[in-house]
Amino acid sequence: MRVPLIAGNWKMNTTVSEAIELVNEMRPGLDEITNVDKVICPPFISLAPVRELIEGSSIKLGAQNIYFEERGAYTGEISPLMLADLCEFVIIGHSERRQYFSETGDIVNKKIQAALRAGLKPILCIGERLEENEAGRTEEVVTEQLRSSLAGIDYLSSLTIAYEPVWAIGTGKAATGEQSNETISLIRHNISQQYGKRIADDLRILYGGSVTAENAAEFINQPEIDGALVGGASLKAAEFLSIVKQTSEIKQ
Ligand code: PGA
């Protein structure tokens, strides 16, 4: 049985004091729900203060990005060693990083390897762009992203995949539950062919893209979908909590 996971990607939102306020609002409700992994991913500079606030709770912490070198002259970057000290999860290959910061499959692969070496749990994001979707190339695109991201990696037990169709991120235009279940099942099949059925059966695959308290159940009700990577709606304590609660009820 895969434990469902709901991750909140706060992106480049919240000052440190706003992050503290948001965590204080979420903490009591989230902490009560124990059959779902709840991961919050604030900006780097809020990781340390947030970590202190959630200590002793069941809430887990994640970063939104990582660099693949351990240390050195890489001005402005944050290394796996620094993160391993602070948090458990790290989002890698988000489409906004691919789009605005030119992250290629090769870079994503290096980041995953580095995260795994440091004992971090990567949440690997993959997903097709609108024109690829419209051209019927979803399968081809996600297959290629899986291939390049996971090249040379033979250890998937701490990996989570988030299927996030790029056209659904931050647009308010979510995919349908059925559509995403189909693509996620294809991703699982792909992993199964490469790594074997047991590993594929154990791998958590999330949906992401305009998930709200209103539409969350449509995704969580799908058998192949193990949770969600939530952007905008994770910045509202009550809404994020509602998504986690619904997940807890549906997947129990
Ligand atoms: P969104 O973002 O929920 O705001 O669409 C999701 C994501 O980017 O992970």
Kindly report the CA angle at 227 between 31 and 155, in degrees rounded to 5?
Answer: 100
Catalytic residue among 94, 218, 224, 239: 94
- For position 187, what pLDDT does the model report? 97
- For position 62, what pLDDT does the model report? 98
CA–centroid distance, 188 to ligand 1, in Å, is: 22
pLDDT digits (tens, 9 = 90+) for 172-208: 888 899 999 999 999 999 999 999 999 999 999 999 9
Q: Going by C-beta distance under 8 Å and a sequence separation of 6 or more, which residues neighbour residue 103?
A: 93, 97
- For position 138, what pLDDT does the model report? 95
Q: What is the pLDDT along the chain (252 residues), one digit of tens a residue?
A: 899 999 999 999 999 999 999 999 999 999 999 999 999 999 999 999 999 999 999 999 999 999 999 999 999 999 999 999 999 999 999 999 999 999 999 999 999 999 999 999 999 999 999 999 999 999 999 999 999 999 999 989 899 999 999 989 888 888 899 999 999 999 999 999 999 999 999 999 999 999 999 999 999 999 999 999 999 999 999 999 999 999 999 998
Of 164, 180, 207, the one to substitute when testing ligand 1's pocket (max ligand atoms within 8 A of C-beta) is 164
Of 5, 39, 64, 230, the one to substitute when testing ligand 1's pocket (max ligand atoms within 8 A of C-beta) is 230
- For position 171, what pLDDT does the model report? 87
- For position 174, what pLDDT does the model report? 82
Q: Return the exposure string of 5-22: e unless at least 16 CB atoms fall within 10 Å of the residue's CB, then b.
A: bbbbbbbeebeeeebbeb
Return d(Cα 37, Cα 6) in angstroms, integer. Answer: 6
Pocket residues: Cβ below 6 A from ligand 1: 9, 164, 169-170, 208-211, 229-233
Q: Are 69 and 95 in contact (CB under 8 A)?
A: no
- For position 170, what pLDDT does the model report? 85
